[in-house]
Structure 1
């Protein structure tokens, strides 16, 4: 283990982080985190507010779970910004590691997700839409540990 590798007790005490909803999109996002190509993500401020969850803070470590709710990695937040959707920059888009080459393409993909039935149901708003002024949470993170190959005797 590396000095940064968290113990089983550390992992058990960390909050869990879910990217998208379980299924193919989550699987792709988690794979990108684990291969190092995804080092940023974007969430809706209203989603945090609706869920009653605090915004991520620099230094926070959390366990990334896959579509089967298995812990597969630990990430640490390295930066957080809240700004209007229209101000998302290309560096953030590229660091999301989803293959988007421009902000417009990235935004179209994210709007598709945010306007989807699952997201609208999660927000309790079947007509939810975003626009240029919608506040988004831009989070940067680093992969601290890949948990896929940890000891089979782990209880986490």
Structure 2
């Protein structure tokens, strides 16, 4: 589904976590995000590209912002650095905190259902897509 000619991007699943992440994007606190490469592979989707603009949607599936990808790195989970963790805008103070929070999300029932694998787990070698972006504009309803 495209919004205004832009591909949409969802942060987490609809609900409190998405609301928190969208608010952090709109405030400028969140300038990076992490995804699993396996999500793209499972959906047979190409990885996003630097310079691509995306429409951020809220929990009600409404476009709320446009972001532009400024840096993309595919790296093993064990190689995620502190700068990336801090720039996620979720209050992490260390890579260990970031990893614990993300493992909890990636091991959730919702994520396992999305991946079609009830026993899905990540490890140090799991490939992560570390994305850096900038807020282009907020979208007013």
Q: TM-score, normalised on structure 2?
A: 0.97
Judging by fraction of residues, say which structure has more strand.
Answer: 2
Asked if residue 109 in structure 1 is aligned to residue 134 in structure 2, the reply is no
CA-to-partner distance for each residue in 1:116-138, whole Å, 9 max, x for gaps? 00000000000000000000000
2:109 and 2:87 map into 1 onto residues whose CA distance is 26
**Aligned pair partner of 2:64 in 72, 80, 84:** 72
CA RMSD of aligned residues (A): 1.1
- State the partner residue of 1:93: 85
Larger-gyration structure (1/2): 1
- The CA deviation string for residues 49-95 of structure 1, in whole angstroms up to 9 with x for no partner, is 11111111000001000000000000000000000000000000000
Secondary structure of 1:15's aligned partner: strand
List gaps (5 residues or longer) in structure 2. Answer: none
- Counterpart of 1:5? none
Runs (4+) off by over 6 Å: none
Query: By how many angstroms is 1:11 displaced?
Result: 5.1
Unaligned segments of structure 1, at least 5 residues = 1-9, 151-156
SS at match of 2:47: coil
The equivalences for 1:20-59 within 5 A come to 20-59=12-51
Q: 2:120: which partner in 1?
A: 128
For normalisation by structure 1, the TM-score amounts to 0.88
How many residues matched? 140
